[in-house]
Amino acid sequence: MTLARYPNEGWLRLEAVMDVGEVNEFPPQNYWQCNNGLRNPRGGCYILDPATNERVKTWAEPETAWTFGYFMWDWADSSSPVTFYTPNRAMYPRFVSNYGVRPGALYYLYNVLEELDSPGEYYLDRKTGLLFVWTYSPDDAVTISLSREPLIRGAADGVTIEGFTLTAARANGLKFTGRGNVLRHLLVKNVADHGIVVHGYENTVERCEITRTGRGGIYLAGGDRNTLTPGGNRAVNCRIHDFSEVYQTYQSGVDLAGVGNICAHNEIAGSPHMAIHYGGNEHLIEYNLIHDVVLHSSDAGAIYAGYDWCGHGSVVRYNLLYNIGAGDFRPDGIYWDDGQSGQTAYGNIVVGVPKNGFLVGGGFENTVRDNLIVGDGESPIHYDDRNRDGFVHGGWAKQAVNTPDAPHWQKLRATPYLSDAWRAKFPSLGRLKTDFATDPDDRDFPINPTDSVIEGNVIVHRDGYLGGIADSVYRYSRVADNAVYRTCEEAGLDPETWRFRSPRPGFPEIPVEKIGPEPEPDPEPDGSAESGSAEG
């Protein structure tokens, strides 16, 4: 349910901004270091449209109201209590979004008794303690939870937790640490944080359903990045849907952290932001069915990783993405952001993504090959050179790379990429040149999009368009042998099955039938059942 809000669906738009408040960045790329570290930074003054202002005048206690919105970027949500001065259509947030505010920003107002006007809304009178609930049906039961701890929490090895329904907590549904644990056939719903959080090694989350969470679905962390020891944790054959209902950005259906973890054969749907997020090294993301995600953002991707020159070794393969974005929101499919490097994607099917099927934001040693990209978005494959452009030409991304203390160089120095373990796995990183006296055109200077590969992809786009690929990508990397068509018929592609009507020489067949959750194995004669698995 949701606190009583106006409007019930959709968004309002700020008419104007009088005062942005104590922001950290405004306008874009202009950083206010004096505001760094402020607790509860002062809000500003925003101007409401006339109709909304008239609505506020009808509220008996407008001082209870809060606002939620994307006040500058649609990847940065923010909430704050507000007050109003209706003679001038002014709204004063108590706190300000980190990135400032702009006219036309999307927002809504909530926690107002008069707006309790539709099923699924509630309001708490904090003076009297009375809770007003408009249920979906007169027969609905109402459950109220005050629990601030996970419903199951533990630290152990070799434990199996199976067959529970976990519901109603203001925390994670389950949080576990250890090695070799199995979490199977769990239904986790109506929790305010993540559904399942697991830390450790060789743990498995399988055949679970997770829905109605305040944050994400499954968070898996494990492995040692110093030694590149894999975690071996797996999220497989799970259904994760209708999540991220409180924190609406950067909360994913599956999140992989560390080294060598697996997300396979899951169905992920129904989220304002991303389906899968990962960070670290050597993760495997395969055979996932992803749809109806990134519904409230444009600068975002269904599968996302970013900001790591040393994030090498992860593979994204055999995933099907469709129905990404909604309305005016035009996001990306697979998104390697802000210099993410060392990624490989092949055999994916990306359908109808409204902006970029693949967005590679700078970075080096990235491979995009043998994928099927169908749709009339802005660019099937976009590969820019933001790091190089920022360093050499003072482009918009310069703050990340233009001094030795800029974030990319700091993160590089904090990664043990020169250790024996890293040199053995990723020898090219050992050749990186980090001296600012280096010729910026040097192939091994990490601002350059070096040794990437974009080849063998099949693209169907009404304009016969491969995508927006920077000149320096052609200069430093390989872009070749991509087949571009204007229609599925011209490509020989069946849009019902996403198979080609006849084999394509040089294009490996995508195992479409394996995408999504696998069927439950038949029980053994003695009544036991084998657990599902995904091979890396």
Q: pLDDT of 202-223, one tens digit each?
A: 999 999 999 999 999 999 999 9
- Across the chain, what does the average pLDDT equal? 95
Tokens at residue 499, please? 């198979």
**CA-to-CA distance for 458 and 304, rounded, in angstroms?**
22
**CA-to-CA distance for 24 and 6, rounded, in angstroms?**
29
Please check whether residue 255 is in contact with residue 271, taking contact to mean a CB–CB distance below 8 angstroms.
no
Instruction: Look at residue 120 in the predicted model and tell me its pLDDT.
Output: 94
The amino acid present at 241, given as its one-letter code, is H
Please check whether residue 89 is in contact with residue 50, taking contact to mean a CB–CB distance below 8 angstroms.
yes
**CA-to-CA distance for 372 and 351, rounded, in angstroms?**
8
DSSP at 22: S
Instruction: Look at residue 536 in the predicted model and tell me its pLDDT.
Output: 30
Tokens at residue 117, please? 């006007």
DSSP at 95: B
Beta bridge partners of 187: 165, 209
Q: Which of 335, 271, 268 minimizes the C-alpha distance to 301? A: 335
Instruction: Look at residue 214 in the predicted model and tell me its pLDDT.
Output: 96
**CA-to-CA distance for 359 and 384, rounded, in angstroms?**
8
Taking the C-alpha atoms of 90, 93, 94 and 100 in order, what is their torsion angle to the nearest 10 degrees? Answer: -120
**CA-to-CA distance for 277 and 288, rounded, in angstroms?**
13
Q: What is the pLDDT of residues 134-144, one digit of tens each?
A: 999 989 988 88
Please check whether residue 261 is in contact with residue 239, taking contact to mean a CB–CB distance below 8 angstroms.
no
CA angle 358, 375, 252 (to 5 degrees): 45
Q: Tell me how far CA of residue 386 lies from CA of 168, 303, 307, 359, 466, in angstroms.
A: 44, 20, 12, 12, 19
Q: Which of 137, 70, 134 minimizes the C-alpha distance to 102? A: 70
> E strands within 51-169?
66-70, 78-85, 90-93, 106-110, 121-125, 130-134, 152-155, 160-162, 165-169
Q: Which of 85, 89, 78, 84 minimizes the C-alpha distance to 40? A: 78
**pLDDT lower than 50: segments of the chain:** 528-536
Please check whether residue 123 is in contact with residue 96, taking contact to mean a CB–CB distance below 8 angstroms.
no
Please check whether residue 490 is in contact with residue 464, taking contact to mean a CB–CB distance below 8 angstroms.
no
Instruction: Look at residue 530 in the predicted model and tell me its pLDDT.
Output: 46
For the question of whether the overall pTM of this predicted structure is more than 0.95, the answer is no
DSSP at 427: G
Domain boundaries, the chain: 2-134
Instruction: Look at residue 39 in the predicted model and tell me its pLDDT.
Output: 86
Instruction: Look at residue 485 in the predicted model and tell me its pLDDT.
Output: 97
CA angle 354, 358, 360 (to 5 degrees): 130
Instruction: Look at residue 527 in the predicted model and tell me its pLDDT.
Output: 52
Q: List CB contacts of 323: < 8 A, sequence separation 6 or more.
A: 291, 292, 352
Tokens at residue 258, please? 């560390």
The amino acid present at 72, given as its one-letter code, is M
DSSP string, 142-193: -------S-SEEEE-SS-EEES-EEEEESS-SEEEEEES-EEES-EEEEESS
